[in-house]
Structure 1
Amino acid sequence: MLKAIIIDDEPNAVGLLALRLSQHCPQVDVVASCTNSHKGIQAILDYRPDIVFLDIEMPQMNGFQLLEAVGGISFSLVFVTAYDKFALKAFRYSAIDYLLKPIDTQELIQAVARVEKQQKTAPEQLEALKQQFNNPGKPFPDRIALPYQNGVSFVNLKDILYCEADDNYTKFYLVDGQHHLVTKPLREIQDLLEERDFLRIHRQFLINLSHIKKFVKGEGSYVVMSNQQTIPVSRAQKDRLMERFGWL
């Protein structure tokens, strides 16, 4: 069983989440529900949970301040939030799980499943997320968190050659020859990176435009990347690729 704590200043939100967990996630035991940040801190210290469902915006003490007061994070963290698109991208860059209010049952089930498979939330993930929330006008960072079975790797965007779809997973290929497989579909990665000099040129590939060495046009168009890998360009995406570079 996973010991869970819910911390949210809205009693209705706490009750609904606890009900959804009891109905759809029998492997989760809600050992404490708190509508006060200070009580939430004490509950974490008393129960040593496996997972904490935490609201960010709360009176007196927000979610980040609560976590700082707790000290070291020895649990998996799932933020429960009503934030906008900017905030959701911040979560994705840091690879910290979140649930958007009103909570969708299937997304809750998936979040719990991810917690079961992965390690605890790393301090670096939380710090990356905190910086984005404290500087909402700041461009998204030059690094992205890539979760894997034993933890999280932070990778510089400039070191990503391309990403390849693998069913509901995405494989990242890096300049040093390393590969990272993450449990996110390519469409989610596309949503994050196409604002940062990346382009999806094929249903299976998202590439870093900075690493293109050659573009070969024709019936079977393709690009040659800086590692000499050739990647096909779909007919539908060829014009988008040419527009990004202003090619004739």
Structure 2
Amino acid sequence: MYRVLLIDDEPAATKALQRSLNAFEQLEVIGCYQDPQQGIDAICELTPDIVFMDIEMPGLDGLMVAKATEHIPYHLIYVTAYAEYALSAFETKVIDYLLKPVRPIRIERCLEKIEQLSSQVSAEIASEILIFDGKTTYRLADKDISFIESIGRYQQVNLTPLAAEKFQLKTIVTEATMASFEADFASNKLVRVHRSYIVNLNLVIRVHRESRNTLLSLMDVTKSIPVARAKVALINQYFDN
């Protein structure tokens, strides 16, 4: 369910749009405002998921309202009778631009955009993990990690060169367990290949054997990573694809 605000100085236009939105079960209109300043206050107070807003309004126009509330996370959709505002509108965080009168099919397309964006954001959030080293908590994306090595009761998270530059350190040592890392990873690119190692498969540049052991070479890493016998088939399957 998306919580929706409407901001438009024309009561008739607001009522017409609200009637159209009420036909969508996934939408709940939680407020309608004719005064732009009241609209700003409502966005800050109610933190809606979606705001349908006119552009040309007295005092503060829709572009100003968007600028004043750009620190609040919501999906902005402009609803206006004037096509010439489109270029200025897309300088704000607007995701769609609807011309009055709004047809239900255009609302449906807006919702499809929003659902797609929400899925992308969820995926991005899911691919991040929090790592605490005893003093500081770091938010890392999967792509920031080269490999993780178990060193006794601690785990050493080795960062990629780009991540090392971003965080101004090469490794993070944490008490988090290897099992907890496995549970936290949303990406199938970070794989436990040995009881003591988790590697980013995107960084593997070579799979080779020494005696009876299978080893991985990672980009920008000098040491070779051992692969447990039980994981060799998985590695081979990945690189055969």
| TM superposition score normalised by structure 2 | 0.45
| TM superposition score normalised by structure 1 | 0.44
